[in-house]
Structure 1
Amino acid sequence: MQKIENHYLKAKKWLLGMRGNDGFLLKVLIYGLLIGIGFVYLFPLLHMGIYSIKSLDDILNPLVNWIPTQFYLGNYVKANQVLNFFPVLLETLYVTVLPSVAQTAVAAVVGYGLARFNFRGKNILFVLVLATFLIPPQVTLIPRYIFFKELDILGSLNAFMLPALSGQGINSAIFILIFYQFFRMLPKSLEEAAQIDGAGHLRIFFTIAIPMAVPAIIISFLFSFVWYWNETYLASIYFGKELTTLPLQLQKFVASYQKMFPAGMEGSVNQINEGIRMAGTLLSILPLLIVYFITQKWFVEGVDRTGITGE
């Protein structure tokens, strides 16, 4: 009887867990849920990746689904020609990196000022800053366009740089809030000790606050970089034909392909197919994937330490 009871307790412990140890059923549930969620997020990338290396014969063959009969790179060759990938990539980095750096720097200064200084109208100013995030950009598009036209900065990077430098870049209010939360958590004893040693506010900001705010800087820059990269609505209006980005090139991918490879062109595929579209889409998001894989460690740490999840 004692042996049966011991076997029962062992089986119960193995299945359900005891004293903080996860049982087998709970592990199956957790890992199954994580695999399911991961598959939902990864399925579009897997679909694009597989179709991008399929030849036209594999695409037309209903028996070929997940495993192509050959590793075909011709789709990427044509997508590269249509997107003009490397020159446009450099132009895209120029359009996204500089405004992202400027926006992060300005958000750090504004967030530090709101967090560490008390002055009349501070709360009202803080509310107005956050209110800019609630106002849709379409509401201010026409007045801002007219203002930029009067300044003669349309068709240049200044159309992005001017709002970024004035704290009105794409979703700047979120980054100001991130820095505001982060700088509020810094102990005032550090500033008081620095002031006793004769340090001024600027020196405290650059030697104490900024080095400790590296996670907030990383998370703000990465989010800003992604948002400027994916911004096509404002970029198409402000830049016109003078500047372009990979997402803008992707929007007119089909028209550019048909113009570059006419239907009657000798030795070419008459019509664009799904494989070429998927290759072009992957090329346009490939830099973002590379940036994420390189910076994912600091990205996760930044999200955790800045409290961006609302904790």
Structure 2
Amino acid sequence: MASKVVEYKEKISNVGSSVLRFFFGNRGQNGMMLKAFIYILLIGIGFVYLYPLLYMGSYSLKSLSDILNPLVNWIPTQLYLDNYGRANDVLKFLPTLVQTLYVTVLPAVVQTVVAAVIGYGFARFEFPFKKTLIVFVLATFIIPPQLTMIPRYVFFNELGILGNIQSFLIPASLGQGINSAIFILIFYQFFRMIPKSLEEAAQLDGAGYFRIFFTIAIPMAVPAFIISFLFSFVWYWNETYLAALYFGNSLTTLPLELNKFVATYNQLYAGADGTDSNINEGIRMAGTVLTILPLLIVYFLTQKWFVEGIDRSGITGE
């Protein structure tokens, strides 16, 4: 009788252990409860990021009647593309896109290259006041840019470089571009992870510092280059305060045109007949979609290398 009781207790214990393993996992395996929590969390985070895109895409395809109709929520009754036509006219999309690429791609490339050189110098060479210079590099990121905007504007005005791309290129070429400190630290940490034995072996074969940098350091730092360029490209693209301050009316970008979208629309369609001449939510959302569309295309084309770069370099971004 006692043996049957013991056997019965063991069966209950085994069943309980199986249930606990199923819900909570065991020995490194995720249980059902943990998986459900992770999936719910990921779905929630994904919805937070996707909701604005879905909202913009839906409203940009709605006619005025669909916007005013409370029964039409997410799916419009028809694909109303006239919103994009008007947004294209207001933004002057193609000419503005060319100017935007001009003032974002070139500074991003220059900033990435200069940050790589500076980061390699900090990682591989010892020189006086090295730590002090690293602190100064960090200070350029910690100090709010609002404190340096006006002094830079006065300095650039004295140099005569306001109203052209040099106001972005010169700081980028000197390691003082938009958030350059982050990219310098990225390359600094990445180059420190490269074994010194590779460079020492190259030096034994007669390679100099420049050859080592171009043949060993750069090929191994491709993930850091990808991450730095993409982040730099996005930050230069989204920059409106500095672009408006330095470029004035000489150059413009899509985000700048989006900032004055309503005023430009009212000037362009002032006195037009019909109720559709007034701006509505659909036209605004169409202009927003056109503004972020190039960034989305760049992301979809480079997401494979972007994810691999983050995975290999251990960078989590901001």
| Bin of the TM-score, shorter chain as denominator length | over 0.9
3-state SS, counterpart of residue 277 of structure 2: coil
Amino acid of the structure 2 residue aligned with 1:26: L
Q: How big is the shift at 1:282?
A: 0.8
Supply the distance in 2 between the matched residues of 1:259 and 1:267 (Cα, whole angstroms): 16
Supply the distance in 2 between the matched residues of 1:157 and 1:26 (Cα, whole angstroms): 52
Q: How big is the shift at 1:27?
A: 1.7
Q: 1:146 aligns with which of 148, 154, 162?
A: 154
Match of 1:182 in 2: 190
Supply the distance in 1 between the matched residues of 2:80 and 2:185 (Cα, whole angstroms): 47
Structure 1: tracts of 5 or more residues without a match: none
129-138 or 267-276, which deviates more = 267-276
Match of 2:125 in 1: 117
3-state SS, counterpart of residue 28 of structure 1: helix
Q: How big is the shift at 1:304?
A: 2.7
- Paired positions, count: 309
Match of 1:281 in 2: 288
4+ residue runs over 4 A deviation? 1-12
CA contact (8 A) 2:25 2:32 kept: yes
Pairwise CA RMSD of aligned residues?
1.7
Match of 1:219 in 2: 227
Structure 2: tracts of 5 or more residues without a match: 1-7
User: 1:231 aligned to 2:239?
Assistant: yes
Supply the distance in 1 between the matched residues of 2:224 and 2:162 (Cα, whole angstroms): 31
Match of 2:57 in 1: 49
Q: How big is the shift at 1:13?
A: 3.8
Distance 1:13 1:122, change over 3 A: closer
User: 1:254 aligned to 2:262?
Assistant: yes
TM-score, length basis structure 2: 0.93
Amino acid of the structure 2 residue aligned with 1:255: A
Larger Rg: 2
CA contact (8 A) 2:64 2:276 kept: no
CA contact (8 A) 1:261 1:268 kept: no
Distance 1:5 1:223, change over 3 A: same
Supply the distance in 1 between the matched residues of 2:22 and 2:188 (Cα, whole angstroms): 47
Q: 2:168 aligns with which of 153, 160, 174?
A: 160
User: Taking every aligned residue pair, what percent have the same amino acid on both sides?
Assistant: 71
User: 1:36 aligned to 2:66?
Assistant: no
User: 1:298 aligned to 2:305?
Assistant: yes
Q: How big is the shift at 1:229?
A: 0.3
Supply the distance in 1 between the matched residues of 2:281 and 2:52 (Cα, whole angstroms): 14
62-71 or 218-227, which deviates more = 62-71
Q: 2:78 aligns with which of 61, 70, 78?
A: 70
Match of 1:96 in 2: 104
